[in-house]
């Protein structure tokens, strides 16, 4: 396996702080933030019987509602007390935009403190996928990403992330996306923010997603993707969780010289260190890793870089990785653009020639700034 050469790059200042608090504060405690045992205690603290916790969980995770008027199996006095005490409003839909004949929906959410995030719901023929945000903004400053240019406002709480999921699942169940009722099947942590920089809330969200009903949504961990630009210690921590989510690594360059420029975190953990951590994830979990690679015209789309990427991935082993080249999605004011289609095709062909399973990702939602790298939470776009 390749060894990591000494680095000479000057580390870029990155923002790993939990938030820039200013006038903002910690989100209020929500039912979803609590474990099942804590929910029982919280219900009792409000003077209600402990079995009410299971009733509330059933309404939230199975019926996808926190509306007290829908909780007709609870006495009205009890539901008013419980909802007021355990279901504070966290998100308000400020704007929605549709694309792809109504099968792609981007929602701009205003948080309780005025912070803004976006989520994107995509319905396909055989699945429905929600791209969720885990931070308001992002502190990792990737050069071509609209979110990265915002800087970090704050981390989201578990409940703030889960509320994006519940809302999307309810929209699908009500037939609001694509014209007929269906279920939410897949979650990707590829919205605003670096998920592994908000590790605790993201993993607690994953636990709510996979917990059997009524304590959670009962989703399969294999239908959940957690992305990262390469926070190596956090990848190792995720490896040891024992939860078989799909790991997606946003690599974007196979050489340190270019990746230092495109993905500044590379000055802290190099390409080889990042790939080593991803391969170790596969070794421990048996889950094939996804390598994400935004193709930028005349920047990282050269044939020799496809060959170098293929060589580096194969140096760790065979059959452990899948590559997703992604045509760069345009962002306002960006100096870069997507590769020529013929160059994209050549890049894909070269990776496949190395035996690397490769799929060119579509740019669904790009016309509403809802595709990868475009989320900027702009209310008046």
Q: Residue 299: which of 348, 338, 269 has the closest Cα?
A: 338
In degrees, rounded to 5, the angle at the alpha carbon of residue 106 between the alpha carbons of residues 105 and 110 is 135
CA distance 336 to 341: 15
Phi, psi of 265 (to 5 degrees): -60, -15
Q: Is residue 292 annotated as a catalytic residue, yes or no?
A: no
Q: Are strands 128-131 and 135-138 parallel, antiparallel or unpaired?
A: unpaired
Are 30 and 86 in contact by the 8 Å Cβ rule? The answer is yes
Query: Alpha helix (H) ranges present in the chain?
Result: 36-45, 52-57, 76-86, 158-173, 199-210, 232-239, 256-262, 271-285, 303-316, 341-353
Q: Which residue has the tokens 């193709």?
A: 295
**Element spanning 247, H or E:** strand 246-250
3-class DSSP state for residue 292?
Answer: strand
User: 48, 118, 194, 292: which one is catalytic?
Assistant: 118
What residues pair up with 108 in beta bridges, in sequence order?
A: 95, 118
CA distance 130 to 224: 10
Distances (CA, A) of 134 to 82, 107, 172, 178: 27, 14, 21, 26
User: 194, 311, 372, 379: which one is catalytic?
Assistant: 372
Q: Is residue 142 annotated as a catalytic residue, yes or no?
A: no
CA distance 92 to 101: 24
Are 130 and 164 in contact by the 8 Å Cβ rule? The answer is yes
CA distance 155 to 148: 14
CA distance 27 to 39: 17
CA distance 234 to 226: 11
DSSP 91: E
Are 134 and 189 in contact by the 8 Å Cβ rule? The answer is yes
Q: What is the set of active-site residues?
A: 118, 372
């Amino acid at each position: 396996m390749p060894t990591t050469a000494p680095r000479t790059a000057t580390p870029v200042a990155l923002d790993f702080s939990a938030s820039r608090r200013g006038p903002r504060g910690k989100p209020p405690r929500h039912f979803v933030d609590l474990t099942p045992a804590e929910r029982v205690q919280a219900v009792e603290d409000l003077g209600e019987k402990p079995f009410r916790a299971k009733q509330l969980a059933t309404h939230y995770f199975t019926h996808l509602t926190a509306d007290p008027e829908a909780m007709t199996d609870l006495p009205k006095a009890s539901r008013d007390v419980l909802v007021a005490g355990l279901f504070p409003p966290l998100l308000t839909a400020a704007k929605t935009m549709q694309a792809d004949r109504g099968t792609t929906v981007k929602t701009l959410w205003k948080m309780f403190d005025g912070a803004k995030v976006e989520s994107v719901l995509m319905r396909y023929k055989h699945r429905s996928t929600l791209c969720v945000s885990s931070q308001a903004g992002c502190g990792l400053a990737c050069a071509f990403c609209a979110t990265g240019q915002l800087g970090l406002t704050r981390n989201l709480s578990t409940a703030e992330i889960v509320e994006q999921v519940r809302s999307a699942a309810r929209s699908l169940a009500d037939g609001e996306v694509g014209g007929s009722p269906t279920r939410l099947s897949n979650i990707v942590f590829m919205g605003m923010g670096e998920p592994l920089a908000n590790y605790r809330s993201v993993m607690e969200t994953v636990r709510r997603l996979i917990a059997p009903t009524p304590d959670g949504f009962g989703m399969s961990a294999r239908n959940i993707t957690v992305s990262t630009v390469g926070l190596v210690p956090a990848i190792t921590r995720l490896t040891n969780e024992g939860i078989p989510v799909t790991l997606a690594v946003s690599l974007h360059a196979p050489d340190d010289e270019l990746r230092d420029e495109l993905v500044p975190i590379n000055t802290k953990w190099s390409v080889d260190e990042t790939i080593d951590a991803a391969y170790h994830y596969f070794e421990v979990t048996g889950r094939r890793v996804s390598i994400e690679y935004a193709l930028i015209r005349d920047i990282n789309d050269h044939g020799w870089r496809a060959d170098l990427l293929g060589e580096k991935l194969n140096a760790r082993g065979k059959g452990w990785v899948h590559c997703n080249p992604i045509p760069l999605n345009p962002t306002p004011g960006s100096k870069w653009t997507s590769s020529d289609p013929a160059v994209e095709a050549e890049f894909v062909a070269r990776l496949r020639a190395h035996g690397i399973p490769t799929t060119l990702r579509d740019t669904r939602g790009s016309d509403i700034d809802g595709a990868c790298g475009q989320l900027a939470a702009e209310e008046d776009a």
